[in-house]
Amino acid sequence: MSDDGQYWIIGSWDNAFIVSNDYGMTFTHGIPSNSQVQIDPVTCSSTGQYMAALDSVYHTGIYVSTNYGVTFTLKAASESWISNAKGLSFSGDGSLLYVSDTGYGYNYLSRNQGNTWNQSGWVNNWSGVLKVSGDGHTIVVTDSSQDVYIGKA
């Protein structure tokens, strides 16, 4: 959800995710509701301009919007790590998009809303929890033992 609550993105396990641009009064599907996806997690920049939804079951990729959820484009579908991706977070201004990979224990970072990716950091036995500070410079993750790791981007 955006900081002011106007823009929402909600993941769903019923082959869709939904978005709202009116404080949750109405919702529309971010992609066709009959799509073969199960979305979890989702993320949104502080203004709501940038939204992303990760298909963490069928591993089709990351659906990214740069226009307040009006349209979504599939990103990272051909990346080798997408089949293990679990965590997803935008920085507050939307300039950085982070994804955690539970299979190899790496973070992946995009500085252009998912068009290209760079490996960024490593945590053994990743559990998939990923949070990024508003400015995008502090990353917090946990491993399967619930140990907490804090990194600087």
Instruction: State the 10-residue block means of pLDDT for the chain, 153 residues long.
Output: 91 78 90 74 92 87 93 90 84 86 77 89 57 66 60 60
**Which CATH code is given to the segment(s) 8-152?**
2.130.10.10
Predicted confidence at residue 39, as pLDDT, reads: 82
Q: Which residue has the tokens 């500070």?
A: 133
pLDDT (0 to 100) of residue 19: 92
**Residue whose structure tokens are 């507050």:** 92
Between CA 55 and CA 138 the distance in angstroms is: 25
Pair 57, 41: CB distance under 8 Å: no
What's this model's pTM, rounded to 2 decimal places? 0.83
Angle among Cα 72, 11, 132 to the nearest 5 degrees reads: 85
* Ranges assigned E (strand) in 28-84: 28-29, 39-44, 51-55, 62-65, 73-75
- Rounded Cα gap, residues 101 and 8, in angstroms: 25
